Amino acid sequence: MSPSKTGLLEPHVTLDATQREELQRRDIKKHDTAVILLHWFNVSIWVTELATGGALLAGSAYQIAPAWWRTFMIAVFGSPSMILKVHITAGVLWTLVLLVYGIFGFRKYLVPTVTNYLIPDWDDFVWMKNRGLLILGKRVDLPPQGMYNGGQKLYGLAVYGGSAVIIATGLIMAFHLGPPWLVQWSILFHFLAVGGIFAGLFVHVYMGAVLTEERPAFYSMFTGKVPELYAYRHHYKWWRQYKEIETQWRADLAREAAADAKADSATSEDDK
């Protein structure tokens, strides 16, 4: 139960009560404010688009909602054409916000998120396999994970890719860009992309908002922080990286303070 040579706890140690309390008491930052705002903006857009899109497809060849939902939405918005206008307006707004985020946050948020946190490694594939075995009642160990586990990484990549398809096909349908056959195919691929992301969304919401062990991740989308104990247990590789950076930062501050103190002492001697 001793720390490693770097002074950090290893993922396999059994924490005593004091260690658990100490880690639980401290929080570490997981999300920037911009990421949190974008997350909840996406939530509001997806609720709007699913509600209006379901009403538009009710009774069609790609029906995903019962007829009563269409009737209800018509009562809310006044007419099918107004439902379509709301759907298109929300989609265009979503596209513009993501475009701004992609341009101005390209180097700070977009690229680091994809390259540092969403590219799966071998531990992620082992984690997904073993997680499935745990659900089936098998006794297996889960390898340490980064800021996001293997399942979250795959879903994140699916959201990135699916969102690109949704935006492209949505613009083609809304503004009739291209020949009729392209518009027709866009309907199908738009529907498939939305369905794929929506299916994963059930798991995402369940894991974050329902499972007690993952509740800190849900709260982090409000506060931006998670307890160190949660990070240590569920995202050890990210926690270790965070602590190593923190340790180096403290060491640099200590060296700078020592250098300043030495300089002040030398100045005092010269004054004498």
For every residue of 12-27, which 3-state class applies, written as one string?
A: CCCCCHHHHHHHHHCE
Nearest-angstrom CA–CA distance, 235 and 152: 12
Q: Which residues pair with 133 in a beta bridge?
A: none
What pLDDT does 194 receive? 92
CB distance 14 to 29 below 8 Å: no
| Closest to 48 measured CA to CA, from 220, 203, 209, 194 | 194
What pLDDT does 172 receive? 95
Q: Percentage of the chain surpassing pLDDT 70?
A: 91
Mean pLDDT of 90-111: 89
What pLDDT does 3 receive? 55
Is the pTM higher than 0.85? The answer reads: no
What pLDDT does 163 receive? 94
pLDDT reading at 173 higher than 90: yes
Which range (52-56, 92-96, 115-119, 183-187) has the least confidence?
115-119
Q: Which residues pair with 28 in a beta bridge?
A: 226
Mean pLDDT over each residue of the chain, to the nearest integer: 86
| Closest to 117 measured CA to CA, from 160, 156, 159, 143 | 156
CA atoms within 13 A of residue 87's CA, in its CB half-sphere: 23
Nearest-angstrom CA–CA distance, 204 and 129: 18
Alpha helices per DSSP H over the chain: 17-25, 33-57, 67-77, 80-104, 111-112, 122-135, 150-175, 180-205, 215-223, 228-234, 236-271
Nearest-angstrom CA–CA distance, 30 and 264: 38
First CA to last CA distance, the chain:
53
> 């240590």: which residue's tokens?
232
What pLDDT does 125 receive? 93
What pLDDT does 271 receive? 60
What would the two tokens of residue 166 be?
Answer: 């949704």
Which range (71-75, 205-209, 249-253) has the least confidence?
205-209
What pLDDT does 1 receive? 39
pLDDT in tens, 240-254: 988 888 888 888 888
Kindly state the helix (H) or strand (E) to which residue 28 belongs, with its residue range: strand 27-29
What would the two tokens of residue 216 be?
Answer: 């800190």
Mean pLDDT of 223-234: 92
pLDDT reading at 82 higher than 90: yes
Buried b / exposed e along 92-131 (16+ C-beta atoms within 10 A): eebbeebeebeeebeeebbeebeeeebebeebbeebbebe
Mean pLDDT of 201-228: 85
User: How would residue 44 be classed by pLDDT, with cut points 50, 70 and 90?
Assistant: very high
pLDDT reading at 2 higher than 60: no
CATH 1.20.950.20 fits 32-215, yes or no: yes
